Amino acid sequence: MRRLREAMAEPVNAQARLDKIVVLVASNMVAEVCSVYIMRADSRLELFATEGLAREAVHQTTLKVGEGLVGLIARSAEPLALADAQAHPAYSYKPETGEEIYHSFVGVPFLRGGNTLGVLVVQNRTKRTYTEEEVEVLETIAMLLAEMIASGELQSIARPGTAIAARRAQALIGSPMADGVGLGYVVLHQPRVVITRIIAEDVGSEQVRLDAAIETMRANIDLLIDDESTAGEYREVLETFRLFANDRGWLRRLREAVNTGITAEAAVERVQEDSRARMLRQTDPYMRERLHDLDELANRLLHQLTGQSMVAAPESLPDNAILVARTMGPAALLDYDRRKLRGLVLEEAGPASHIAIVARALGIPTVGEVENITGIVEQGDAIIVDGTTGEVQVRPSSDIEAAYSEKARLRARRQEQYQALRNVPAITKDGVPIGLHMNAGLLVDLPHVEETGAESIGLFRTELQFMIAPQFPRTEKQYLLYKSVMDAVPEKPVTFRTLDIGGDKILPYMTTYEEENPALGWRAIRIGLDRPALLRLQIRAMLRAGAGRELRIMFPMVASVQEFEHASELTRKEVKHLLRHGHELPHNLKLGVMLEVPSLLWQLDELLERVDFVSVGSNDLVQYLTAADRDNRRVAQRFDVLSAPILRALKSITDKGASVGKPIALCGEMGGRPIEAMALVALGYRSLSMSPSSIGPVKAMVLKLEVNDLNKYLCEILALHDGAPSLRDKLLGYAEAKGIPL
Ligand code: PEP
Ligand code: MG
């Protein structure tokens, strides 16, 4: 080990260092052969160095993953020791290496993020059994080789034109979460611990260090669990951590690893890599989740041992940072300097997650559900994020980079064009004004009203603030938030939606109930009416914030006229309460409902009589009309919103609204997609509320549209009853013929 340490430190080139390592290992193990195979970008294992096999085979012999014993180790990511290698069914003979005279074989993989980077092999002429200790020594050397690869050193000796796998360019695909293209460099939200010492000087003191670190980590976890503000899912995760931190098997593996002569941190990393490799090959989601927990726990221990920080320091963010994390809470993202963030890549979060909502609000191109991204990238790697398509390019080649730079430039140019439309009124070619409003939910959204030229905020999702708060926001806090929202749009009325929680929108500090069907469960106004204290406090805060102004309050997920009446009654009580206490009230209070539940379609007469306004929540309305979960990737795209049944349902609402003179708005995602917005305007929608980045594109469409002409065309094709699954192509054809930009 001492001589190995010296070999690692010698100022020689990588090939000389590798050559030296194989000689040392062979002599130390009294073996005739020691070879190093490195995984190339084309998934072949190339012989990079050997002692004992034919020298000419170096950089010439290659094996496929799964081919031969070396390929088998690469695939399984597990060591293999055989006294009679030639008797193994996977044995494969490579004549150029002259290896047929060797009988025994032992090989260990070197791993990073659970992926095999290469294989270290030792062979003996005689049939001999390798001891467990010998395998462990090889595993330590494999760790050194993995470090050499991560440092980029080995790429320099690869054959010209071939890349080694660990540094190869990779195109990954995940779920698009927030639009835009970002080019930059990886910043790991939880930076990987850099281990500088692998080989121990004194095994005894490393055991002591390990034990002390485990003790401190356990105590920290206990403290967090005992802390009263730790709640919900986080508490459950910590409980699991506590279980693992006391798991005998895990602790034994760590101690055994230290006994092989490596430092405590190297031992944790080795055990961690083993479980990562198992995790990548594990198909049972429950087991994967547990292995993930174990990984997280190992990270904590590594940070404990090395004193390195658990999270990137948000204040020292480099320019052009692309944040990469397994998961991340919305509040953590808000800690980073937005001006330096070019993108975000997450392993676990999906498009409907809270972090996605915040990333969209901040305008950070984001891709989620990218498998093992934290294991694939290294701090500082070049990376590109396309939040529109879900593509992530890791260590891109220069032509890929050029293509994306061009894409980003084009996008920026288009944004400039939209910017130029900022103060242009959204009026169709035939003179119909269309209200383009903005959806918002956080303070960071507010500047977008100015930037985009949105008429006002057509939907303020109040639950977002609740979701990122550590505890239930008191009325005063709510009042201050709603007041800032009103102040951000001084001339126009803002439409506040009361708490839309439940379903997947969980408040960490509120008791949750297991529900078979959360989307059809106890959520939104249903909670509000069953727990009126909550709703009343919120309404009170809104009424105070709207003092002297017009205030619009909208109730979500209303399914019956009675629910609206009940909510109005609560509001009236709050008005009285504030009056009694001498507060100033809004000079004009408008109460409305979100039309999201199909049952309302058949009580429109009764409903419109009672409400001041209606805003169609097409995201939920479509989900319930088609019985297709909007967050379930397998079904969400199954039905097109531009299909006859959905368009007819949407038309029936505006038709009814027009006949009784009640304004109907729409605030689902449909309103922000130009072609869908075009159809909506043709169906009679005159007020759309959308995410800020959609205002420009939708306005560009409106300016070129002749509503009356498209209305006629759309009514005709809707009356065809030809059973076509979608009218999208027809509408696209129409827009193209009329020169309407989409
Ligand atoms: C909707 O359902 O269309 C809507 C706008 O509300 P949310 O997306 O917040 O459910
Ligand atoms: Mg909704």
Q: Which ligand is nearest to the CA of 650?
A: 1
Residues 272 and 321 in one domain: no
Q: Answer for the pair 650, 657: CB distance below 8 angstroms, yes or no.
A: no
Q: What percent of the chain has pLDDT over 70?
A: 98
Residues 563 and 700 in one domain: no
pLDDT at 223 over 70: yes
Q: Answer for the pair 547, 508: CB distance below 8 angstroms, yes or no.
A: no
Q: How many angstroms separate the CA atoms of 612 and 589, rounded? A: 9
Q: Report the pLDDT value the prediction gives residue 233, as an integer from 0 to 100.
A: 60
Ligand 1 atom 4, closest CA: 617
Q: Report the pLDDT value the prediction gives residue 422, as an integer from 0 to 100.
A: 95
Residues 159 and 176 in one domain: no
Q: Which ligand is nearest to the CA of 458?
A: 1
pLDDT at 231 over 70: no
151 CB neighbour count, 10 Å cutoff:
11
Q: Is 209 within the bounds of a domain?
A: yes
Mean pLDDT of 347-360: 79
How large is the angle between the packed helices 232-245 and 285-306, nearest 10 degrees? 70
Residues 513 and 582 in one domain: yes
Q: Is 417 within the bounds of a domain?
A: no
Is 448's C-beta closer than 6 angstroms to any atom of ligand 1?
A: no
**Ligand 1 nearest-atom number relative to CA 463:** 9
Closest CA to 34 of 134, 91, 107, 90: 107
Ligand 1 atom 1, closest CA: 617
Is 672's C-beta closer than 6 angstroms to any atom of ligand 1?
A: no
Q: Which residue has tokens 């699954």?
A: 725
Q: How many angstroms separate the CA atoms of 635 and 352, rounded? A: 14
Q: Answer for the pair 341, 359: CB distance below 8 angstroms, yes or no.
A: no
Q: Which ligand is nearest to the CA of 690?
A: 1
More confident residue, 707 or 441: 707
**Ligand 1 nearest-atom number relative to CA 689:** 5
pLDDT at 605 over 80: yes
Strand 664-666 with 175-178, pairing: unpaired
Number of folded domains in the chain?
A: 5
Q: How many angstroms separate the CA atoms of 403 and 500, rounded? A: 41
Q: How many angstroms separate the CA atoms of 445 and 441, rounded? A: 7
Q: Answer for the pair 117, 168: CB distance below 8 angstroms, yes or no.
A: no
Strand partners, 44: 64
More confident residue, 625 or 239: 625
**Band of residue 184 on the pLDDT scale cut at 50, 70, 90:** very high
Residues 51 and 154 in one domain: yes
pLDDT at 423 over 90: yes
pTM score of the predicted model: 0.72
Ligand 1 atom 8, closest CA: 619
**Segments of 26-74 assigned E as strands:** 33-39, 44-51, 62-64
3-state SS class at 71: helix
Is 668's C-beta closer than 6 angstroms to any atom of ligand 1?
A: yes
Q: What is the mean pLDDT of the chain?
A: 90
Q: What is the pLDDT of residues 505-558, one digit of tens each?
A: 777 677 777 788 888 999 999 999 999 999 999 999 999 999 999 999 999 999
Q: What is the pLDDT of residues 36-67, one digit of tens each?
A: 999 998 889 999 999 999 999 999 999 999 99
**Domain extent for 155:** 2-167
Q: Which two tokens stand for residue 611?
A: 């409400």
Residues 147 and 178 in one domain: no
Q: Report the pLDDT value the prediction gives residue 401, as an integer from 0 to 100.
A: 93
Of the given ranges (41-55, 114-128, 459-473, 676-690), which has the lowest mean pLDDT? 459-473
Residue 129 DSSP one-character state: P
Is 503's C-beta closer than 6 angstroms to any atom of ligand 1?
A: no
Is 617's C-beta closer than 6 angstroms to any atom of ligand 1?
A: yes
Q: What percent of the chain has pLDDT over 90?
A: 59
**Ligand 1 nearest-atom number relative to CA 668:** 3
Residues 30 and 110 in one domain: yes
Q: How many angstroms separate the CA atoms of 273 and 603, rounded? A: 60
Burial (CB < 10 A; 0-12, 13-18, 19+), residue 46, is buried
Q: Which residue has tokens 């609206």?
A: 564
Which H or E run includes 382? strand 382-386
Q: How many angstroms separate the CA atoms of 1 and 5, rounded? A: 6
Ligand 1 atom 6, closest CA: 617
Q: Answer for the pair 181, 387: CB distance below 8 angstroms, yes or no.
A: yes
Residue 290 belongs to domain with CATH number: 1.10.274.10
| Ligand 1 midpoint to CA 669 (Å) | 8
**Ligand 1 nearest-atom number relative to CA 500:** 9
**Band of residue 629 on the pLDDT scale cut at 50, 70, 90:** confident
| Ligand 1 midpoint to CA 620 (Å) | 6
Which H or E run includes 572? helix 561-580
Residues 175 and 210 in one domain: no
Residues 257 and 300 in one domain: yes
Q: Is 449 within the bounds of a domain?
A: no
| Ligand 1 midpoint to CA 617 (Å) | 5
Q: How many angstroms separate the CA atoms of 44 and 46, rounded? A: 6
Is 667's C-beta closer than 6 angstroms to any atom of ligand 1?
A: yes
Q: How many angstroms separate the CA atoms of 598 and 621, rounded? A: 6
| Ligand 2 midpoint to CA 436 (Å) | 19
Q: Is 523 within the bounds of a domain?
A: yes
Q: What is the pLDDT of residues 191-221, one digit of tens each?
A: 878 888 888 889 999 999 999 999 998 888 8
Is 596's C-beta closer than 6 angstroms to any atom of ligand 1?
A: yes
**Ligand 1 nearest-atom number relative to CA 596:** 2
Q: How many angstroms separate the CA atoms of 519 and 629, rounded? A: 8
Residues 76 and 156 in one domain: yes
Domain end position, chosen among 581, 596, 612: 612
Residue 386 identity (one-letter amino acid) = D
Q: How many angstroms separate the CA atoms of 370 and 386, rounded? A: 12
Select, from the ranges 225-239, 301-315, 442-456, the one with the highest average predicted confidence (pLDDT): 442-456
Residue 589 belongs to domain with CATH number: 3.20.20.60
Sign of CA dihedral 256, 261, 263, 269: negative
Q: Which ligand is nearest to the CA of 689?
A: 1
| Ligand 2 midpoint to CA 636 (Å) | 15
| Ligand 2 midpoint to CA 425 (Å) | 28
Q: How many angstroms separate the CA atoms of 455 and 687, rounded? A: 10
Q: Report the pLDDT value the prediction gives residue 352, as an integer from 0 to 100.
A: 65
Please give the positions annotated as active site.
354, 667
Residues 543 and 656 in one domain: no
Q: How many angstroms separate the CA atoms of 670 and 690, rounded? A: 8
Q: What is the pLDDT of residues 638-664, one digit of tens each?
A: 899 999 999 999 999 999 999 999 999
Residue 381 identity (one-letter amino acid) = D
| Ligand 2 midpoint to CA 690 (Å) | 13
SS3 string, 183-217, reads EEEEEECCCCCCCCCCECCCHHHHHHHHHHHHHHH
Q: How many angstroms separate the CA atoms of 533 and 521, rounded? A: 20
**Band of residue 504 on the pLDDT scale cut at 50, 70, 90:** low
Domain end position, chosen among 252, 273, 306: 306
